[in-house]
Amino acid sequence: MELGLVTSGEALASVDQLLPKLIEARIGSRIANQDPTVWGASAKSEASIRLGWAQPFEAAEKLLPQILELREQLLAEGLTRIALCGMGGSSLAPEVIAAHDEVDLVICDTTDPQMVSTIVNTDLERTVVVVASKSGSTVETDSQRRAFTTAFEAAGIDPATRLVLVTDPSSPMDNPEGVRAIFNADPNVGGRYSALTAFGLVPSGLAGADIEALIEEAGLISDLLSSDDEDNIALHLGAALVTAGRDKLVIAEIGDALPGFGDWAEQLIAESTGKLGKGVLPVVADANAPELKNIAADILPLYLHEQLPEEVDEAATAIHISAPLGTSFMIFEYATAVAGYLLGINPFDQPDVEAAKVAARSLLDAPTAGSPDTVDGSVELFGTQATNLAGALDELTAQLGEDGYLSIHAYLDRHADAGLEALRDLLAERTGRPVTFGWGPRFLHSTGQYHKGGPRQGVFLQVTANHEQDLEIPGRPFSFGGLITAQATGDGAVLSDAKHGRPVLRVNLTDRAAGIAALLEAAS
């Protein structure tokens, strides 16, 4: 795959303006040398324990033989199905790596009881589960692990032969008892920058991805990224990402350039930049998305190519990039850190993620049923004055400002309920504004930071469902159904509270299929 980047229109103007400043401040070499002072005094202490991703090679070299040896052992025992429990940075990169190499890796990054149940009750006799959490305390991951452990026991399989952990040294999960293997990750790398560490490499490597080639690709660009000169592609991308006035970055893959890469980049960019009322909102779409047909003044298109186009329209603002996967991880991580420097924020914290977790926790401790404002066939509506679904959608979208965006949060099964994704294009077409689509609670570890910490421009459509077949979380006083409902209502409460003041409509599906059909119909 070709390596290159082309910017045009206002994105090129931004590069022309900012590149000399980045070179003069030696930002490329300072990041490569893990200088924690790049982002200012207030970010220094966090940055001093978060820059390991800039030089991941030595640690990766040590890890590769261990992963490959375990893979051989598992294959010899007929353990060919690899599942991964983990949220955000602990599952997004391995999902992209596995998709890129076309190997099967089953991702469990949800609390939807239907989806968890399907994953833990399939082919257990040949399944190994990687449980990945940097902090070792993420409630979703812990709950998924409990569900798997119980399912193995019920099937007469010793979980100790099937659980593989990836976590930071000394985290609450860092305990070899009852597991087959533990891989300690580099504590100096945050979740969303961890693609080329144990978090990205262990699950995808066990699933059969060519992780040696991935690391090699990443290594090829290392010298370029550490250089303080005009050829440094990450400095170009970082400068283009902060193109003035264009803070909605629509990421579109052309052809099969890098399947799923947009979802990984979405977390990296949203959680790193969306804070202090600033940030770049990633909008993952496809090349035919309405946002890219009539490009609004605040939209910045970013096209992922297998090969750069021979010609680009110089007047049209856009970023075009083409790079192999390992190289792309490195370029985007460096560029996001550069964008953080230019925006004047700390790209390594996520100060607003905690609020939704606290709200969900208090709802779990004291559940409140709450009754809908209106019922329309197979949907219940919360947070509206309207009398039906179509009216409620009108009411919500009418609150979109000129620079606003609509965010759909679907707390459903992202495989069985995938038909709902069509709602994104329908609403983008209808509103003429950018629309993001996230599966809950997965997006809480991605764009969730931006929604609460970034500019106050969003209006939010939550989609939840009744859980006919709920699933207990062993050893916990709440079920998966109770947890996902608390996560949705907790995040909705934070978004609409006095501090954030954002419009939130919740549509609860009493029948999933009929409710999804009703939403698509009402939006079209």
Ligand X SMILES: O=P(O)(O)OC[C@H]1O[C@](O)(CO)[C@@H](O)[C@@H]1O
Contacts with 15 (C-beta within 8 Å, 6 or more apart), sequence order = 7, 236, 239, 240
The residue (of 87 and 392) whose beta carbon lies closer to ligand X is 87
Out of 71, 81, 100, 134, the residue judged to bind ligand X by CB under 6 A? 134
The residue (of 165 and 331) whose beta carbon lies closer to ligand X is 165
By CB under 6 A, tell whether 197 contacts ligand X: no
Could you tell me the smallest distance in angstroms from the CB atom of residue 88 to ligand X? 3
Residue 370: both structure tokens together: 């709450």
Contacts with 399 (C-beta within 8 Å, 6 or more apart), sequence order = 459, 503
The residue (of 87 and 285) whose beta carbon lies closer to ligand X is 87
502: helix, coil or strand? coil
Q: Is the peptide bond before 441 cis (omega within 30 degrees of 0)?
A: yes
For residues 422 and 437, the answer to whether their CB atoms sit within 8 Å is no
Could you tell me the smallest distance in angstroms from the CB atom of residue 298 to ligand X? 26
Site string for ligand X, 136-175 (x = CB under 6 A): --x--x----------------------------------
Question: How big is the site for ligand X, counted in residues (CB under 6 A)?
Answer: 15
Could you tell me the smallest distance in angstroms from the CB atom of residue 448 to ligand X? 7
Out of 13, 103, 342, 353, the residue judged to bind ligand X by CB under 6 A? 353
Could you tell me the smallest distance in angstroms from the CB atom of residue 191 to ligand X? 3
Could you tell me the smallest distance in angstroms from the CB atom of residue 218 to ligand X? 19
The residue (of 384 and 447) whose beta carbon lies closer to ligand X is 447
By CB under 6 A, tell whether 422 contacts ligand X: no
Residue 179 per-residue DSSP state: -
Site string for ligand X, 60-99 (x = CB under 6 A): ---------------------------xxxx---------
Task: Please list, residue by residue across 400-409, b when 16 or more beta carbons sit within 10 angstroms of its beta carbon and e when fewer do.
Answer: beeebbbbbb
State the pairing for strand pair 318-322/374-376: unpaired
Could you tell me the smallest distance in angstroms from the CB atom of residue 261 to ligand X? 16
Q: Which residue is nearest to ligand X (CB)?
A: 191
By CB under 6 A, tell whether 271 contacts ligand X: yes
Task: Give the dihedral sign, CA 107/104/269/249.
Answer: negative
Instruction: Give how far the C-alpha of residue 82 lies from the chain's centroid of Cα atoms, to the nearest Å.
Output: 21
Could you tell me the smallest distance in angstroms from the CB atom of residue 346 to ligand X? 13
The residue (of 187 and 455) whose beta carbon lies closer to ligand X is 187
Taking the C-alpha atoms of residue 463 and residue 517, their distance in angstroms, rounded to an integer, is 13
**Beta strand segments in 293-423, E:** 299-304, 318-322, 374-376, 379-382, 405-410
Nearest alpha carbon to residue 271 among 462, 88, 47: 88
By CB under 6 A, tell whether 133 contacts ligand X: yes
Could you tell me the smallest distance in angstroms from the CB atom of residue 413 to ligand X? 20
By CB under 6 A, tell whether 182 contacts ligand X: no
For residues 19 and 239, the answer to whether their CB atoms sit within 8 Å is yes
The residue (of 172 and 377) whose beta carbon lies closer to ligand X is 172
Residue 17: both structure tokens together: 């303006």
Out of 56, 191, 279, 347, the residue judged to bind ligand X by CB under 6 A? 191
Out of 445, 451, 500, 506, the residue judged to bind ligand X by CB under 6 A? 445
Could you tell me the smallest distance in angstroms from the CB atom of residue 301 to ligand X? 26
Residue 356's Cβ-side half-sphere holds a number of Cα atoms within 13 Å equal to 32
Could you tell me the smallest distance in angstroms from the CB atom of residue 80 to ligand X? 26
3-state helix, strand, coil in the chain (%, to 5): 45, 15, 40
Could you tell me the smallest distance in angstroms from the CB atom of residue 321 to ligand X? 23
> Which residues face 251 on adjacent strands?
284, 302
The residue (of 19 and 356) whose beta carbon lies closer to ligand X is 356
For residues 196 and 213, the answer to whether their CB atoms sit within 8 Å is no
Contacts with 128 (C-beta within 8 Å, 6 or more apart), sequence order = 74, 79, 81, 82, 83, 162, 163, 164, 180, 206
Taking the C-alpha atoms of residue 409 and residue 494, their distance in angstroms, rounded to an integer, is 14
Out of 192, 248, 424, 512, the residue judged to bind ligand X by CB under 6 A? 192
Q: What is the chain's Cα-based Rg? A: 22
Could you tell me the smallest distance in angstroms from the CB atom of residue 466 to ligand X? 27
The residue (of 246 and 357) whose beta carbon lies closer to ligand X is 357
- Piece in contact with ligand X (CB under 6 A), picked from 36-44, 134-142, 152-160, 472-480: 134-142
Could you tell me the smallest distance in angstroms from the CB atom of residue 129 to ligand X? 15
Out of 37, 73, 135, 170, the residue judged to bind ligand X by CB under 6 A? 135
Nearest alpha carbon to residue 60 among 180, 207, 205, 258: 205
- Piece in contact with ligand X (CB under 6 A), picked from 23-31, 129-137, 206-214, 499-507: 129-137
Nearest alpha carbon to residue 155 among 112, 122, 114: 122
Taking the C-alpha atoms of residue 72 and residue 208, their distance in angstroms, rounded to an integer, is 10
The residue (of 37 and 135) whose beta carbon lies closer to ligand X is 135
Distances (CA, A) of 59 to 66, 194, 197, 457: 12, 12, 7, 41
Instruction: Using CB under 6 A, list all residues that contact ligand X.
Output: 87-90, 133-135, 138, 141, 191-192, 271, 350, 353, 445
